[in-house]
Each structure stands twice: as C-alpha cells, then as structure tokens.
Amino acid sequence: MNDVTKVELDPRLETPILVMPCPADLNDFAEPDRQREMREFYAKPGIIVIDQVIGEPVLTGLREGLSDYRRKFKEKFNFGRPDTESFRSAYDQAIKRMTDLTIALFGYDLKDGGTMSYRPLITADEPLHYDTYDVPCGQMSLMSVLNFDHRPRKWNVGPSFREICRDSAPDLEEILKKKKPGESPSVPIRTAGLKGFGPLKDGTPLHRIEFAPGAVWYANPKAISHQITYGGGAHFQQWNIDVSDCGCQSCIFEAFEVNVPNLRTPAPASAA
C-alpha cells in the first residue's frame, strides 16, 4: 500500500514541486535550517507533498463519510461528519497528525488546527483558477490538504500569480479594467480563461499531479493557479500566517506595476 504521488512537470512553468516520504518520526523534519528552506519553498510559491502521512486505519475511519455526490464548481455543500466513534477517533487523529506535521515542517507556532473543511464528495473538471477567499495583506494562506480517498486526487497546476503579472500584464489590465471595490481579481481572471482569453485560457502550460491516498500537501491556492480534474474525499486545514515579505495578489500587482482599479478598495458596506 505504498502509494506515491506522481508529478509531470511542464518546463515552461516556474512553480517547483517537492515530493518526499513521511519520516517515521516527524521530529526528523524539525530542524531550523530545513524549516526555513521549507518556508521559502512554499512562499516562492512552491508545492510540497509528503507521501504516506496518514495510514490505513485512520483513512478507513475518514472514509466512512464518503459520498458519490459530485460537487458543482463553487457549490456550497453541507456533508456532515458521520456520528460514529470510529469516525470521530479517525478525524481527531488526522487533525492532530496534519497539525503536528505542519509545525514540524515549517516551524510555525500554530495555536490550533486552523480552518478546517472535511469534503467527502467528488470534485471534477474545475476551471483553472486562483482561489477567491480573502487573505489580508501582510498575511499568507498556508493550506494543507489530505487525500483520504481510495483514488489519487488529480490536479493541474498552471502559472503562478507572479508569472501572469510578469508575462501577461496587458491582458490582465484589460480583464480587470472594470473590477469593482471588494471584488476578488481571481473571479474575472477565471471567467476570462473560460471564455478563451488571458493567462488561464485553454492551452496554457500545466504541471500534472496525482496525489496519492494518504498524502498531505501544501500549496497556496491564491498564488498558484490550479484545477482539480478528479478528486474524491479530501480534508483541508488552512492557516493565515503573518509574513514580513508579503506576496498577496495586491502586492504582486503593485510590484509588477499592473494597473488595476479599486485594487485595495473594500466593498461598500451593505445597505441592508
């Protein structure tokens, strides 16, 4: 059952991907120079994959909630967690293990398991996108994902936000010329891609990844464009980390002098 993650890199893309097995003792990761390297690698942005983090007994427990329901892109879902002792025990162990791994790998002083999302359903054929959730300037989204499904989770990874700002500034200015206050730039960029325009249109170079069951990976979904082509059960933990060298979308636009209206203007307070 030694499932390993498979990666196919497109040399035209800069995002590096590191795949390594999980050590028997997580303390083997917890060395300051190594942690600094991992923090820098993640912030590049890069993708870090650790195989065989979660073993079969815990995966079996987490799979109790699995459903064949297929989620539409962006659809809100409400699949509860099974109310059994075996599920609860597996869930608690998975959270503890993912949190311990994150602390050992990066050396961050995490107070808790972060924002969690248990997703026991099928996601497939997403458009290439950057996530739209809000992360304040000065912070960075640290996202970890566990594939607890029976099958590999398949991702395509496209250009990073930095790459599109460097290489496609005129297209981005055209796409975002009507951006409203508070609107995430990720939305019009994704929509344009679906219409065949701009840096995320069909035909853009893609890395291909098949995350093995039991693997946990780290990728910043606001900094790296990505699409799930197939995925079953996955569990997410996400932390906002204070950073001195901010790489948020607004800071990247400014660094590359991409002209975007209402870049930092918040949405007007609702009239309701």
Which positions touch Fe ion (CB under 5 A)?
131, 221
Nearer to Fe ion, 131 or 163 (CB): 131
Least separation in angstroms between CB 222 and Fe ion: 9
**CA distances (Å), 133 to each of 139, 182, 187, 223, 249, in order?**
13, 11, 10, 12, 12
Are 99 and 113 contacting, i.e. CB atoms less than 8 angstroms apart? yes
Nearer to Fe ion, 51 or 131 (CB): 131
Least separation in angstroms between CB 43 and Fe ion: 18
Angle between helices 85-106 and 32-43 (to 10 degrees): 100
Nearer to Fe ion, 128 or 258 (CB): 128
Measured CA angle at 229 (ends 228, 235), to 5 deg = 40
What length is written for the chain? Answer: 272
DSSP string, 126-175: PPSB-------TTEEEEEEEEE-SSS-EEEEEEEEHHHHHHH-HHHHHHH
Nearer to Fe ion, 114 or 221 (CB): 221
Least separation in angstroms between CB 59 and Fe ion: 23
Nearer to Fe ion, 63 or 119 (CB): 119
Query: In the beta sheet, which residues pair with residue 209?
Result: 7, 155
Least separation in angstroms between CB 127 and Fe ion: 10
Least separation in angstroms between CB 47 and Fe ion: 13
The H or E element spanning position 123 is: strand 122-124
